[in-house]
Amino acid sequence: MSNLKALIVGLGYMGKNHARILSSMENVTLAAVADPNVKAARTIGRMYKVITYESLEEALAEENVDFVTIAAPTVLHYQLAKICISRKIPTFIEKPITETVYQAKSLLAMLKKTKIPLMVGHIERFNPVVNEIKQRVNTGELGKIIKIHAQRFSPPVNRPQDVSAIIDLATHDIDVICHILNKKIHRLYAETGKILHKKVDIMSALLKFDGGAIGIIEVSWLHPSKFRNLTVMGENGMYVANYITQELFFYRQNSNLFKNSSNQTPYAVADVIKIAFEAKEPLQIELKAFVNSLEKRTTVPVSCKEGLSALEIALKLELSGQKNKIYK
């Protein structure tokens, strides 16, 4: 089979990484890139020896491509995706899928008619540490899941803010927690604030899932450095994961009781096991999974419907913070 020809739209931080990865894939030819920032487009064009355009429409008028990846600002996702779907071009779109639920549902309706593959880029789903946790949870190693706690903190944002920290950050952990639990949310509540930014820049949220599991999501743009942790607690112990370093520890419940030397109060000490697995770049795994689904004509790993679900939950959390209300 000949290489699939790719077009990248949007050459900010994520778009540059798309170019780096797609240009290195054996079964992909990076045909062109597009960005209204001519200087940015030409820089990437020279780096990877590809043609550059100022817009998606201009690129599609000249190029016959097999798929498009959209890494443009969120406010542009809907219009760009509509163009691709209307032309029946398979599309990868970075999360969040769109700005609004209405827009995402509109894309979903278009996809049902055209049957064109569209994948949403929920990158943490492809983080090896998340995959390892998901596999282990499925084996029943933890027993019944009691709680999942996600913390995702970043320094203050010095770029234009087209979305809040909830949409920017929490959508990652919403998708991961829902992916691990595979349960519907029964109710949710959030406390939010606008401390240093015009949009919400801090959130602490509680989610109650069918079956009883509790989800806790904390995000902010206020911390001095990046912090990305996930804790999954079950009847038999807990996993503690670092998204960035891809380290994973299993704190196994120990039924043997020990005595404190001072007051002789019995207490248990967990067995701590570092779980070994191969660390890999999540974006590379993600884009390869998308390309493989196109080659094999299989379902994309993260569907438009799943992207819509993550967006709906994030927007409900945002509304909960504004209205001081619990939502179901």
- How much is the pLDDT for 253? 85
Q: What is the pLDDT of residues 244-288, one digit of tens each?
A: 999 999 999 876 655 566 656 666 677 899 999 999 999 999 999
In whole angstroms, give the CA distance from residue 121 to residue 302.
Answer: 7
Residue 253: φ, ψ to 5°: -60, 130
Q: How far is CA 181 from CA 13, 64, 145, 215, in A?
A: 31, 41, 8, 10
| Statement: residue 2 has pLDDT above 90 | no
Q: How far is CA 139 from CA 142, 150, 210, in A?
A: 8, 22, 20
Q: What is the pLDDT of residues 20-59, one digit of tens each?
A: 999 999 999 999 999 999 999 999 999 999 999 999 999 9
Q: What is the pLDDT of residues 120-142, one digit of tens each?
A: 999 999 999 999 999 999 999 99
Of 305 and 256, the structure prediction assigns the larger pLDDT to 305
Of 5 and 160, the structure prediction assigns the larger pLDDT to 5
| Statement: residue 144 has pLDDT above 80 | yes
CATH of domain 4-116: 3.40.50.720
The Cα angle at residue 320 between residues 319 and 324, in degrees rounded to 5: 120
Under the banding of pLDDT at 50, 70 and 90, the label for residue 1 is: low
- How much is the pLDDT for 162? 86
> pTM of this prediction?
0.94
What count of other Cβ atoms lies within 10 Å of the Cβ of residue 248? 22
What order do you get walking across the sheet with 4-9 strand by strand?
Answer: 51-53, 28-34, 4-9, 67-70, 91-94, 118-121
Peptide bond into 96 cis (omega under 30): yes
Domain ranges of the chain: 4-116, 125-282+312-323
Q: How far is CA 125 from CA 44, 119, 129, 132, 302, in A?
A: 27, 12, 9, 11, 9
- How much is the pLDDT for 158? 82
- How much is the pLDDT for 90? 99
- How much is the pLDDT for 261? 60
In whole angstroms, give the CA distance from residue 314 to residue 307.
Answer: 11
What mean pLDDT is reported for the chain? Answer: 95
Tell me what the mean pLDDT of segment 225-244 comes to: 97
pLDDT over 90 percentage in the chain = 92
Class of domain 125-282+312-323: alpha beta
DSSP assignment of 127-140 equals -HHHHHHHHHHHHT
**247-252 and 145-153 as β-strands: parallel, antiparallel, unpaired?**
unpaired
| Statement: residue 179 has pLDDT above 90 | yes
- How much is the pLDDT for 270? 74
